[in-house]
Chains A and B, each alone.
Chain A
Amino acid sequence: MLNKKIIPIILLCTVFIVVIAGLAFAKTDHKDFKNSRLDDCKDCHNGAAIVGNHGGTREHRLLAERASNNCSDCHQQSFCLDCHNGGNVDVSLKKSISQTGETMPTTHRSDFISIHPIKAKDDPQSCYRCHEQRFCSECHAKIPNPGNMQIKGHTAVGNTQRYFLVRGDSAANNAAHASEARRNLQSCEGCHPDGRVCTTCHVLSPGAKVFKTAH
């Protein structure tokens, strides 16, 4: 029964690949266009395929992570790493310095420490494309008196330390804590990298799925 379904799919895929193989094309070498202005790209790329500055933030990631990408026709790896790993060998004047002395990409506007709790919410996973989780925890761990930080999900009872002292608080406050944890679990990890603080109230066992439904 299963084979009857799979065989047509395999046949269709094979036909598709053979047809496409017959239409194989040669990719254009872009090395000669290395020093062109972006406007000049429109001489060939005048449709919706690739326009503007390589398609913007999300689309450029897809282009760059593609196995057969041709980024190296024009760019060295340092071009990528200077934004994603904090460098500035080509000395861009637009790049600012972080408050730990690292060069930052221009996406980090004004004072990023002031606004990072807001900007990090615009696609939270985008932070982790350049920063390891320890980037957050190493900085947050050095904050003097972190118990006084005003963190949503803790603030129903004043501050982070007190929250856990009065964990028998109202059901509404506990529900708010659970909601915030679901929306911002990586933020929790920023201050509590090993998560031991969770186990002071919650009992976890390997393989347990209790929180998958209870939270």
Chain B
Amino acid sequence: MRLILKLLSLTLALLAIASLPARSHAAELSLTSSTQYLWYQDILADKKENDVAQYLRVNVTKLDKEGKANIYAYGRASQQVTSDEDLKGRLYYLYFSYQDALNNHLDLRVGRTYVHSAAVSGTIDGGFLEVKNLGPLGITGFGGREVLFQDKAEVGGGNAMSGASVYLDAPKTTHVEVSYGNKYRSSDLARENVGLDYTTTPVEMFNTYGRVKYDTIGDKFNELLFGIKLAPLKDLLLKGEFVETRPTFDNNSIYAFFAVDRYREINGSLEYAITSAYKFNLKYAKEYFGEDADANVYDIGLWARPIPDLTFNGSYEKRNGFAGQLSGFRFDAGYDIAKAKIQAGIDYDDFTRDDSRAGTAKKYWAGAGYQFNKLIGLTARVEWDVNYRDSDAWQGFGAVNVNY
């Protein structure tokens, strides 16, 4: 109940702000609401559950004449109606943004907002600032309480996150960035990373990008990524990547004592647009898990739009090696008819887990939407699942959507 009141007060406050004339200038308000009824098979409760969820996204923009000051908010409240579970909610973000201050040299965000860098990223209750256009250089900094979401609600407390980066944007779409970030759990330093990102396109047909992320507490590389892209023809893209990652743990975790193996992957892919209506892709990845364990993954896909408003998307994946084997395809199609749209798809996977279970997992789904006018629309989706746990499980949702 408290959450509903909070969301209502937030909406009213934002509506009030939007309707206030500021120096004879009225702010603009846009609101997106989706009221959804969901039904699904709850694996933990081992019974069917029904939820009602209310999404609300509110943007109050152009608070000042120049349009530099804006407020953005997005949240969800959900209630399980088939149990006595409490109302749950997530406030994904609520922040005030001021852009291009100080002669286009400063961007600022304050409140609950998503922050990012190569070293750490996540949602915080705090602030983010970017000092930009210092020639090709820029600096960002952020810090605040880390916000974690789990089980339809917000969880955790006593966590903090901060970080900073220095970057250089140069011609040839060159970007180089060095960043630092840390996370605290209950006032103890749990994570500390240094990151380096780069991307450059020295000639139009060639691009390379990469990331190095170093865990200074564990004293090891957490991530290495290097990629190259080659576009010998306008509609053909060849890509190769080297990836190496290693699990890292909080400084106070017992698991930080243990040695771990690296995960390594070398992959190559091809994307080709036969015409603007038919696109084809092919990918192969060789995965290494340490101590002679490896796997091969093959992926092939086709996207087609034979007539306007009708699209098809299909892919097949084959994996064998460490951890198990998988062979499966995905297919979906969509058609837009004036104010209506229909979509449907199938997922089929034949799998064998190492030393464990084998079987098939099948998902058949269909959905439709109808937009009555600019303001109101209806959407519904139904899904039928057949797998080792359920031979006949149905789930889906219906939604009333409002865009103002």
Tell whether A and B belong to one assembly. yes
Residues of B within 8 A of A76 (CB): 57, 59, 72, 74
Q: Which of A93-122 contact B (CB under 8 A)?
A: 93-94, 96-102, 109-111, 113-115, 117-119, 121-122
In the assembled complex, B130 has its CB within 8 A of some CB on chain A: yes
In the assembled complex, B182 has its CB within 8 A of some CB on chain A: no
Known: A51-B237, A64-B116. 11 other contacts (CB 8 A): A47-B206, A48-B207, A58-B227, A62-B118, A77-B74, A77-B113, A96-B363, A97-B38, A111-B387, A117-B353, A138-B150
Question: In the bound complex, how far is the Cα of B399 from the Cα of A87, in angstroms?
Answer: 13
Identify the closest chain A residue to B33 (Cβ). A89
Residues of B within 8 A of A91 (CB): 34, 36, 369, 379, 399, 401
Question: In the bound complex, how far is the Cα of B140 from the Cα of A66, in angstroms?
Answer: 10
Residues of B within 8 A of A198 (CB): 254
In the assembled complex, A211 has its CB within 8 A of some CB on chain B: yes
Contact A93 B245 (CB under 8 A): no
Contact A182 B258 (CB under 8 A): yes
In the assembled complex, A42 has its CB within 8 A of some CB on chain B: yes
Q: Which of B338-375 contact A (CB under 8 A)?
A: 341, 343, 345, 347-349, 351, 353-357, 359, 361-363, 365, 367-369
Partner of B225, one of A58, A64, A78, A209: A58
Contact A87 B92 (CB under 8 A): yes
Question: In the bound complex, how far is the Cα of B322 from the Cα of A149, in angstroms?
Answer: 19
A51 to chain B, nearest CB (A): 5
Partner of B41, one of A65, A86, A99, A209: A99
Contact B167 A66 (CB under 8 A): yes
In the assembled complex, B32 has its CB within 8 A of some CB on chain A: yes
Contact A59 B237 (CB under 8 A): no
Residues of A within 8 A of B388 (CB): 114
Partner of A47, one of B201, B254, B258: B201
Contact B254 A46 (CB under 8 A): no
Give the interface segment out of A4-12, A20-28, A162-170: A20-28
Q: Which of B301-341 contact A (CB under 8 A)?
A: 319, 322-326, 328, 330, 332, 334, 341
In the assembled complex, B253 has its CB within 8 A of some CB on chain A: yes
The contact sample of 24 A-B pairs, CB cut-off 8 A, is A17-B137, A21-B135, A49-B201, A49-B204, A51-B271, A65-B121, A66-B116, A76-B72, A77-B93, A85-B123, A86-B152, A88-B36, A93-B369, A96-B363, A97-B40, A111-B361, A114-B349, A115-B326, A139-B43, A150-B356, A182-B260, A210-B257, A213-B259, A215-B258
In the assembled complex, A32 has its CB within 8 A of some CB on chain B: no
In the assembled complex, B199 has its CB within 8 A of some CB on chain A: yes
Partner of B197, one of A58, A62, A99, A142: A62
Q: Interface on B for A, CB 8 Å cutoff?
A: 32, 34, 36, 38, 40-44, 49, 51, 55-57, 59, 72, 74, 76, 78, 80, 90, 92-93, 113-114, 116-118, 121, 123, 130, 132, 135-138, 140, 148-152, 155, 165, 167-171, 173-175, 177, 179, 197, 199, 201, 203-207, 209, 211, 222-223, 225, 227, 229-231, 234, 237, 239, 241, 243, 245-247, 249, 253-255, 257-261, 263, 265, 269, 271, 276, 285, 287, 289-291, 293, 295, 297, 319, 322-326, 328, 330, 332, 334, 341, 343, 345, 347-349, 351, 353-357, 359, 361-363, 365, 367-369, 379, 381, 383, 385, 387-389, 395-397, 399, 401
A175 to chain B, nearest CB (A): 10
Residues of B within 8 A of A69 (CB): 116
In the assembled complex, A212 has its CB within 8 A of some CB on chain B: yes
Contact B285 A124 (CB under 8 A): no
Contact A67 B42 (CB under 8 A): no
Question: In the bound complex, how far is the Cα of B293 from the Cα of A153, in angstroms?
Answer: 14
Contact B257 A89 (CB under 8 A): no
Classify the secondary structure of B's interface with A: strand
Identify the closest chain B residue to A212 (Cβ). B259
Residues of A within 8 A of B271 (CB): 51-52
Question: In the bound complex, how far is the Cα of B239 from the Cα of A78, in angstroms?
Answer: 29
Residues of A within 8 A of B140 (CB): 67
B165 to chain A, nearest CB (A): 5
Partner of B255, one of A47, A62, A135, A189: A189
Residues of A within 8 A of B174 (CB): 20
Question: In the bound complex, how far is the Cα of B208 from the Cα of A48, in angstroms?
Answer: 9
Question: In the bound complex, how far is the Cα of B121 from the Cα of A17, in angstroms?
Answer: 27
Q: Which of A10-44 contact B (CB under 8 A)?
A: 17, 20-21, 23-25, 27, 39, 42
**Given A93-B367, A150-B356, A182-B259, CB of A199 within 8 Å of CB of B291:** no
Contact B351 A115 (CB under 8 A): yes
Residues of A within 8 A of B257 (CB): 204, 208-212
Question: In the bound complex, how far is the Cα of B334 from the Cα of A173, in angstroms?
Answer: 52
Residues of B within 8 A of A54 (CB): none
Contact B397 A118 (CB under 8 A): no
Partner of B287, one of A85, A122, A182: A122
Contact B179 A67 (CB under 8 A): yes
Question: In the bound complex, how far is the Cα of B396 from the Cα of A37, in angstroms?
Answer: 29
Contact A89 B361 (CB under 8 A): no
Residues of A within 8 A of B90 (CB): 85, 87
Residues of A within 8 A of B399 (CB): 91
**Given A88-B34, A110-B363, A134-B150, CB of A48 within 8 Å of CB of B247:** no
Contact B152 A101 (CB under 8 A): yes
Residues of B within 8 A of A208 (CB): 257
A50 to chain B, nearest CB (A): 8
Residues of B within 8 A of A42 (CB): 234
Contact A17 B356 (CB under 8 A): no
Residues of B within 8 A of A98 (CB): 40
Contact A183 B293 (CB under 8 A): yes
